[in-house]
Copies of this chain bind each other. A is one copy, B any other.
Amino acid sequence: MRRVMLLVAYDGTNYCGWQVQPNGRTIEGELNLALSELFGREIAVTGASRTDAGVHSYGNVAVFDVDTRMPAEKISYALNQRLPEDIVVQLSKEVAANFHPRHQKSKKTYEYRVLNREFRDPNRRIDTYFYYRNLNIEAMQRAAEYLVGEHDFKSFCSIKAQVETTVRKIYTLTIERQGDIIVIRIAGNGFLYNMVRIIAGTLLQVGSGERKPEEMSGILEALDREMAGPTAPACGLTMIGIEFE
Interface residues of A in 7-47 (CB under 8 A from B): 9-11
With beta carbons under 8 angstroms apart, the residue of B88, B89, B119 that contacts A89 is B119
Q: Is A86 among interface residues, defined by CB-CB distance under 8 A?
A: yes
In the complex formed, the residue of B with least CB distance to A84 is B122
In the complex formed, the residue of B with least CB distance to A83 is B122
Chain A at the B interface: mostly helix, strand, loop or mixed?
mixed
Q: Is A120 among interface residues, defined by CB-CB distance under 8 A?
A: yes
Residues of B within 8 A of A87 (CB): 122
Q: Is A189 among interface residues, defined by CB-CB distance under 8 A?
A: no
Q: Please measure, in the bound complex, the distance between the C-alpha atom of A85 and the C-alpha atom of B122, giving whole angstroms.
A: 7
Q: Size of chain A's interface in residues, with CB distance under 8 A?
A: 25
Q: In the complex the two chains form, is A123's CB within 8 Å of B127's CB?
A: yes
Residues of B within 8 A of A124 (CB): 126
With beta carbons under 8 angstroms apart, the residue of B88, B91, B125 that contacts A122 is B88
- Residues in A lying within 8 Å of B, measured CB to CB: 9-11, 56, 58, 76, 80, 85-91, 118-127, 238
A-B contacts, 22 of them at CB < 8 A, read A9-B122, A9-B123, A10-B123, A11-B122, A11-B125, A56-B122, A58-B123, A76-B119, A80-B119, A80-B120, A85-B122, A86-B122, A88-B119, A88-B121, A88-B122, A90-B118, A91-B119, A123-B126, A123-B127, A123-B238, A124-B126, A126-B126
